[in-house]
Structure 1
Amino acid sequence: MNATNPSSRHIVRTVRGMPASDGAGVKLNRVIGQPALDMLDPFLMLDEFRSDQPGDYLAGFPDHPHRGFETVTYMLAGNMRHGDNQGNSGRLRAGSVQWMTAGRGIVHSEMPEQEDGLMWGFQLWVNLPARDKMTAPRYQDIAPERVPQLHPADGVELRLLTGRIGETSGPVADVATEPLYVDVRLEAGAQWTAELPERHNAFVYVYDGEATVGDGAQTHPVARGELGVLSHGAQVRLSAAAGAKLILVAGRPLNEPVAKYGPFVMNTQEQILTAIRDYQAGRFT
């Protein structure tokens, strides 16, 4: 009989993304921010964009506003260019991450720098606590070579975007929700147990192969294109019989009211109306 570690997390539900379109018509798969999973505090949205058909992505994401949260773009393949009205510019390429804190308001764009080939990556929206929603905008542009690569066990490769694993910290710093965001790659037969803050909300999303999550009697397979919402606990065991690639993401829940309208995420509808008026009046500068 396989005993289950009481501090180990397990899958409480799985969700499949749904086809969606955003920006100027970019086709993507929306995993968080859809009817089956509206949000997972503090995570508001998770999109995977993956296509080698130029018509699916060439129109990109022209200038658009944000207020009240953070956007995180992580690239697996392809090239995009970020620009914003704060004077920031950055090139997104395979392995890079962009963590943008919209705060009180920013207008930015993300446009392809390729005419063909595979474009593949994720965009995650992370809420800001009420006290930080009107903070000054901030942009962290992390090149691939700045992302630590770890090998904590045979057949396990990690890319740590933010948070801490052992004595290693990710390059994205000073995020209010204290997140962990790690790209986990498991060879066939490999396994790894990740330590997590016990009360953080967390999920895994498998983008290649199939992973098994949990230990003992509470193991659960998660297939390519599925997100597994994790129970609370101090650790989670990940394994793969035939190999898998996934992202493991955890963050401190805010437990605050959420008011959402398109690119604005605040605490009340009145604040949403203020955001719309401020944007229309050109105050996102």
Structure 2
Amino acid sequence: MTTRPFDSARVVRKLRGRAASDGAGVKLTRVIGGPDLPDLDPFLLLDEFGTDRAEDYLAGFPDHPHRGFETVTYMLDGRMRHRDNHGNEGLLVPGSVQWMTAGRGLVHSEMPEQEEGRMRGFQLWVNLPAKDKMSAPRYQEFAPDRIPLGRPADGVEVRVVAGEVASGDGGRVRGPIDQPATSPLYLDITLAPGVAWEHALPEGHNAFAYAFEGDAVLGSGEDARALSSQELAILGGGDMLRIEAGAAGARLLLVAGRPLREPVVRHGPFVMNTKQEIMQAFVDFQEGRF
């Protein structure tokens, strides 16, 4: 068996998120899904929330519907209780992940289970292909101890939500999320100061990196570009990404997914392929068919 040669990935665009609010007034930073980057197929939205001020998050996200896509909530700090109209309920704690496939529709809420302290994490929206938009809703929810930790090199720790990385002992560490439609990669990477690491991106996927602690340099040689905290880098040009942490170390998300290349028509919490399907979603919701 032969292995394909890898070209170096590079940063093709950088951007910062914009202050926004959602739910009942929760303050957050919208990185994907705003005017600067409406989407990055198959990703529709990336929000970062992080504050020590209870008034910024206490109102939470009361009952709201979804249809046609997936929501991925990754908690770093804090506790969030979720419920839906199908009787599902759970508690998201630091380090836990909820990958919710809304499919044909559900109504759910996400409310803080704390009145003080830090609340921090991410929500990512991932599109579904037309053939799966009316599938049955489902959850893939994992406690922190179910998210494997890889140590592929000295000074490198990777929490693997989806996809896989080298374990450091010659093996591979695979994340628990299964989604054949987009074959996602979702890594939480921590690098010690000055440490460099290379990782192969899935071939043909759209990919981005988002630094949320410290800073790093992405890419190799003349294509290397600095990525500061709270900056997102859209990646392209190759499949092998080199990341080198700055003097204070770095922590970043590395996310990739197979693009769907289908029409996207979205309105609020509904993401379909045609305007008619969006109108039908409103009718179905109003008539209690979620």
1:273 aligns with 2:279: yes
Letter in 2 for 1:150: G
**Structure 2: distance between partners of 1:228 and 1:172:** 23
TM-score, normalisation: structure 1: 0.96
The separation in 2 between residues aligned to 1:52 and 1:89, in whole angstroms, is: 25
Q: How does 1:203-242 map to 2 (within 5 A)?
A: 203-242=208-247
Structure 1 partner of 2:39: 39
1:175 Cα deviation from its structure 2 partner: 4.3
The whole-number CA distance in structure 2 between the counterparts of 1:90 and 1:239 is 37
Matched, 1:256 2:246: no
Partner residue in 1 for 2:9: 9
Q: 1:175 to 1:110 in 2, by over 3 A?
A: farther
The 10-residue stretch of structure 1 (110-119 or 226-235) with the greater mean CA deviation from structure 2: 226-235
Instruction: Give the deviation of 1:57 after TM superposition.
Output: 0.1
Q: Which segments of 5 or more consecutive residues in structure 2 lack a partner in the other structure?
A: 167-171
Deviation at 1:223, TM superposition (A): 0.5
Alignment partners' CA distance in 2, 1:250 and 1:77: 24
Q: Tell me whether 1:186 sits opposite 2:188 in the alignment.
A: no
Where 2:81 maps in the other structure, the secondary structure is: strand
Return the alpha-carbon distance in structure 1 between the equivalents of residues 213 and 180 of structure 2: 28
Q: TM-score, structure 2 length as denominator?
A: 0.95
Give the letter for the 1:54 counterpart: A
Q: How many residues align?
A: 280
The answer (yes or no) to whether the contact 1:197–1:233 under 8 Å persists in 2 is no
SS at match of 2:8: coil
Q: Partner of 1:107: helix, strand, or coil?
A: strand
SS of the residue corresponding to residue 271 of structure 1 reads helix
Contact 1:180 1:248 (8 Å CA) reproduced: yes
C-alpha separation between the residues in 1 aligned to 2:6 and 2:76?
35
Pairs within 5 Å for 1:85-234: 85-166=85-166, 167-234=172-239
- The root-mean-square deviation of aligned C-alpha atoms, in Å, is 1.1
Whole-angstrom distance in 1 between the partners of 2:53 and 2:284: 37
Q: Which secondary structure state, in structure 2, belongs to the residue aligned with residue 241 of structure 1?
A: strand
**Alpha-carbon distance in 1 for matches of 2:94, 2:238:** 32
| Structure 1 residue 90 displacement after superposition | 1.3
Deviations 1:35-82 (A, max 9, x none): 110000000000000000000000000110000000000011000011
* Structure 1 stretch displaced more, 235-244 or 126-135: 235-244
The structural deviation recorded for 1:6 is 6.5
